[in-house]
Chains A and B, each alone.
Chain A
Amino acid sequence: MIGAYHLYGGGPLLKKFKVGESITPAGQFVEYDTNNAAGVSEQAAATALVFVYGLAVDTAVYSTTQGDAEGLVTVSIRPDLVAKALASGSATNGVALTTLSNTSASAGGTVVTDADVGTTDMDGGTIWCISGNNVGHSRVITTHSSGASMTVTVPFPRAVAVGDEFLFIPWATIGDGTAGEDGNSNVQTTTSRDQADASIASGTGGEVAVVDLELNGAGDTYVLFVVSDNIFGPGIQTV
């Protein structure tokens, strides 16, 4: 992921930190982990973003061998950093998002039917049309019927025809974090920590505030977010 911009403007503030484990690839959040207390670490789990120092803008090699260079990593530490992560269709990097091909017409423009919606709860996420009458329009998902369909409350402007294609992600820019309205509160990273896993349920993953979405195609859609638990954030927090 990359540093897209800062909410309050201005440029990044960079610091070089000692590392407690090797940091690779670049473009992932680093954090404090008591298991690697010699310095900063990669995220302990893709599902959590805690004690975050910031976004690593290079890589580092950790070594405990005398005579080796001390590992250090450059980190963009401003807590208002808006990170931009590519949405991947699985926990592995670079997997295309699932494309839905509508199998049942919806004259009211509120239901997209396809077994490929899967069983993972996307209620609170976003669905958008990439082929058909509603191309270019997006809506928040309000009902996810497992393995059957997705429903939106605000209808698409035109009827959803059979064969129309849609993409969906578990994130949205609005919500309050409660079930069904949790698309804006969490992002789970991929196993290599530098992309966002779009195959997980809405409301799972590290705590963030989703700032923006760049809804494009299956391979170039992005989620932009601010990490909630940044140690340089407001307030003095003890550990």
Chain B
Amino acid sequence: MVELIAKRRWTKQDIAKSTEHPGRQRHTPASWICDLTDLKKTILLCGVCRVKFNPRKHGYRRLFVGDPTGKTDGYSANGRCDACSERTENIGGGTAFVHETLYHAVSQDPAVARRKARMRWRQGETI
């Protein structure tokens, strides 16, 4: 019997898949979300689970990433829902919540951006 050994060529995408965290496993959705909030992790929730999460209570704000096409309001994010583990794009779209302490490090604040723009306009800056 002859055995053929073929060398596997790992792609970057293979490595990426192997390092992906599976998310919630033996927890209930609520306890997993509590674990994440305790660690100030970013939380992604689908349209159904989102209404059960009170971001203010845990010191969270919605992640804002501008959308130059205008198709979303900037508060849309997708991926695997941290509560139900379903893909958020299949359940009404997702929303990401970032802990307040990290918010300005990772998210644009639309209110601040608007305030700065108005200030520049008042000062007549053209850059």
Contacts and interface: CB of A to CB of B under 8 A. Distances in A.
A9 B108 contact: no
A27 B105 contact: yes
Given A4-B66, A57-B102, A58-B98, A238 B42 contact: no
A238 B20 contact: no
A175 to B, nearest CB: 19
Given A4-B66, A10-B71, A215-B127, A55 B19 contact: no
A32 B12 contact: yes
Q: Determine chain A's interface SS by DSSP, over half rule.
A: loop
Interface in B60-84: 63, 65-72, 74-80
A215 B99 CA distance: 29
Contacts of B5: none
A210 to B, nearest CB: 16
B40 A14 contact: no
A158 interface: no
A74 B39 CA distance: 12
B3 interface: no
A12 B20 contact: no
Contact of B98 (A20, A57, A236): A57
Contact of B79 (A7, A15, A51): A15
Question: What are the 6 tightest A-B residue pairs by CB atom distance, in nearest-first order?
Answer: A9-B69, A11-B76, A231-B12, A136-B126, A5-B66, A14-B79
A207 interface: no
Contact of A57 (B39, B42, B72): B42
Contacts of B80: 15-16
B67 A10 contact: yes
21 contacts: A2-B106, A3-B108, A6-B65, A6-B68, A9-B71, A11-B75, A12-B78, A14-B96, A16-B23, A18-B19, A26-B106, A32-B12, A32-B16, A40-B19, A58-B102, A72-B21, A194-B105, A232-B13, A236-B13, A239-B10, A239-B15
